[in-house]
Amino acid sequence: MGGYQGLVLRVDLTNQKVTTERLNMEWAADYLGGKGLGMKYLYEEVGPGAGALAPENKLIFMTGPFTGTIVPCSGKLSIVTKSPASGTILDCSIGGSAAVEIKRAGYDAVIIEGKSDHPVYLLIEDDRVELREAKDYWGLGCHDTEEKFKQTYGDDYSVLSTGPAGENLVTFACITSDMYRQAGRGGVGAVMGSKMLKAVVVKGTGGVGAADIQKLMEVAHNAFKNDLLTDTNLWAYTDGTPMIVELSQTTGILPTNNFQQGNFDKFAGIKSESVTAARLAKKGCTSCGLGCGNFIKAGDVVVEGPEYETLSVAGSNCGIGDLGAIAKFNNYCDAYGLDSISTGGVIAFAMEMTEKGIHDFGIRFGDVEKYLELPGLIATRRGLGAELANGVKKLAETYGGREFAMQVKGLEFPGYDPRGSWGMGLAYATAPRGACHMSAWPVAEEAYGERDPFTIEGKAELVKDLQHYNAAKFSLILCDFWALSFDLMAEMLAALLGREITAGDLELAGERIFNLARLFNIREGMGAKDDVLPERIYSHPLPGGATMGKTLPEGEFKKMLAEYYSLRGWDENGRPTPEKLARLGLA
């Protein structure tokens, strides 16, 4: 068999028991792997109303069919669970080497269930799997945790860990691996903390096969030379995501001062050139040919980052334009185990609340000193951090400012202002996990591309198609930064699995996966009422630059949403019709 190992590792923390079982190959055929297959297991195993931080929730680490093969950019791991931030289905991916180690140890997936009554870590060395006491690690930051495990087991082990934020159930706690790679969004780290699982430490020595390995290597090498290492993808190597800062600044969608502006007067400090000037080395994930990571030294900090999302949401959006300060903030978030997007979002919200005199959080835009204190306070729920740890949505419910609480379904906005890229507004509103830039990224074609960003025309279809594309791609699993076609994905998958697979099959799988996520959320009581954007996007015009005077009017948004539902074969409440479900094999 090629691609899959055919085995799932199941870890019952309540009974401290580890078992293995066959991977459900029917599900693998329909949901591919990664995001899709993880969601299918979650959908089947975690019923409606389950508490996200309760023992009945599960934490699923899922690899994909390409994981561990020579297919470039296939090194990421999907982490699927129910989100404590949004109550939705949540999938979040992490780079580095952990996915490949899990696969080489012989497993397609690791499913964590129940809850331990004391801190533990999971040690995986091929078929030797043990839960071990983690009291010496509990309370440590992610970096120190990883260093300590590597001293004990060796540098060639991969570590997935949660930090103090996850231990303290902060709903935007992340999971860290290879020091500077994160599964950031939606609180995967809090779910790990709630189960008292400090870390997964994994080393595999096995291999991954392919049905037709010669053919796969031939196709993959051709793709590597002529489709991956091209001027369309190599920005990830020359610059990495900081390149996007200048794109957003120019097109007026760079979140600034909690989305009050779409460009930032101090942007020179956070643009790509500044990051590149501080760079020590480039770093990629296992099997990556690009190498987007920038390992930098800024002031007294070394860190891999900051990425665009941190530079924008935790930089300009907090009124901070000093790369040294943002790098330090990034490092604190990584160490404490916080999603730098949501952490930046919640701080920016507190800053505006204070400046508007609605509630005094004692922090204002550009206040670097207080800004740098907050990750530690939030992760340990001390002082002001105890409040901010609740996230933007809950803060607004308690103190007001709801119209500028920049979140959807409880997940804080990433770094693109939808008033300057209307399709992005639809993407935020309809992404299963809330305001998310990974389910579809139409900004590339709207704000940064040739399509008119200030119209709803054609956007419903664009967003729908991108959602299917990403759902399939992140299930296989391939990295976002390789802009490859469905045809090429299908050609490589066919050689790997030894059966005929078409681009159409993958597109349909993408649609199936996206609809399954929707069904999970519907089962939790969500629907059209939750597919909304904050009032600021509808009615606060941006004050300058390329987006001067722009909003995404609610009427236009509603029209775009209705068209989207209709194109999807969903009813006016955003529920897939029985015919659509039948066509997707979801009935």
Partner 1 sequence: MKLKFQPEKCIGCHLCELACSGYKEGVFNPALARLQVSSKYKSYNLVNEARLCDRCLKCVDACTTGALKFDAAQLVLNGDECVNCGACFEACPTGVLRPGGQGFPLVCDGCRGDPYCVKWCPHGALLVEEAR
Partner 2 sequence: MGTVKIELRGPLARYGTRDKGTGRMEMTADNGVTVLEILNQLHIPCHHVGLIVVNGKKGTMQTALREGDHLIIFPVVAGG
Q: Under the rule (CB under 8 A), what is the footprint of partner 2? A: 230-235, 237-239, 241, 243-244, 246-247, 250-251, 272, 308-309, 414-416, 437-438, 441, 443-444, 448-450, 479-483, 546
Would you say 169 or 236 has its CB closer to partner 2?
236
CB of 151 to partner 1, least distance (A): 10
Is 30:512 a contact under the CB 8 Å cutoff? yes
Site string for partner 1, 236-255 (x = CB under 8 A): -x------------------
> Any contact of residue 231 with partner 1 (CB under 8 A)?
no
Is 65:41 a contact under the CB 8 Å cutoff? no
CB of 63 to partner 2, least distance (A): 20
Would you say 69 or 251 has its CB closer to partner 2?
251
> Any contact of residue 290 with partner 1 (CB under 8 A)?
yes
* Joined tokens for residue 301: 């900090």
Would you say 34 or 414 has its CB closer to partner 2?
414
Would you say 251 or 515 has its CB closer to partner 2?
251
SS3 161: strand
- Identify the bridge partners of residue 122 per DSSP, sorted by sequence position: 131, 200
- Burial (CB count within 10 angstroms: exposed 0-12, middle 13-18, buried 19+), residue 357: exposed
* DSSP class per residue in 254-319: --BTTTTBSS-TTGGGGSHHHHHHTEEEEE--TT-SS--EEEEEETTEEEE---HHHHHHTTGGGT
* Joined tokens for residue 189: 């780290």
- Identify the bridge partners of residue 92 per DSSP, sorted by sequence position: 79
Strand 158-161 and strand 175-177: the pairing is: antiparallel
Q: Which of 6, 55, 139, 291 binds partner 1 (CB under 8 A)?
A: 291
Would you say 321 or 545 has its CB closer to partner 2?
545
* Joined tokens for residue 548: 């001067």
**Which of 284-300 are b and which e, b meaning 16 or more Cβ less than 10 Å from the residue's Cβ?**
bbbbbbbbbbbbbebee
Q: Which of 58, 195, 283, 464 binds partner 1 (CB under 8 A)?
A: 283
Q: Which listed option, partner 2, partner 1, none, makes contact with residue 585 (CB within 5 to 8 Å by class)?
A: none
> Any contact of residue 206 with partner 1 (CB under 8 A)?
yes
CB of 297 to partner 1, least distance (A): 10
Q: Which listed option, partner 1, partner 2, none, makes contact with residue 180 (CB within 5 to 8 Å by class)?
A: partner 1
Q: Which listed option, partner 1, partner 2, none, makes contact with residue 295 (CB within 5 to 8 Å by class)?
A: partner 1
Would you say 184 or 204 has its CB closer to partner 1?
204
> Any contact of residue 286 with partner 1 (CB under 8 A)?
yes
CB of 170 to partner 1, least distance (A): 25
> Any contact of residue 143 with partner 1 (CB under 8 A)?
yes
Site for partner 1 in 293-322 (CB under 8 A): 293, 295, 302
CB of 241 to partner 2, least distance (A): 7
Q: Which of 18, 217, 503, 562 binds partner 1 (CB under 8 A)?
A: 217
Q: Which listed option, partner 2, partner 1, none, makes contact with residue 147 (CB within 5 to 8 Å by class)?
A: partner 1
Torsional class of 285: left (φ above 0), alpha (ψ -120 to 50), beta (otherwise): beta
Determine the Cα–Cα distance for residues 68 and 98; give it in Å rounded to an integer. 10
Determine the Cα–Cα distance for residues 27 and 249; give it in Å rounded to an integer. 43
Q: Could you tell me which of 319, 369, 362 has the C-alpha nearest to residue 344?
A: 319
> Any contact of residue 224 with partner 1 (CB under 8 A)?
yes
Determine the Cα–Cα distance for residues 247 and 441; give it in Å rounded to an integer. 14
- Other C-beta atoms closer than 10 Å to the C-beta of 63 total 32
Is 153:199 a contact under the CB 8 Å cutoff? no
Q: Which listed option, partner 2, partner 1, none, makes contact with residue 282 (CB within 5 to 8 Å by class)?
A: partner 1
> Any contact of residue 476 with partner 1 (CB under 8 A)?
no
Q: Which of 22, 26, 117, 155 binds partner 1 (CB under 8 A)?
A: 155
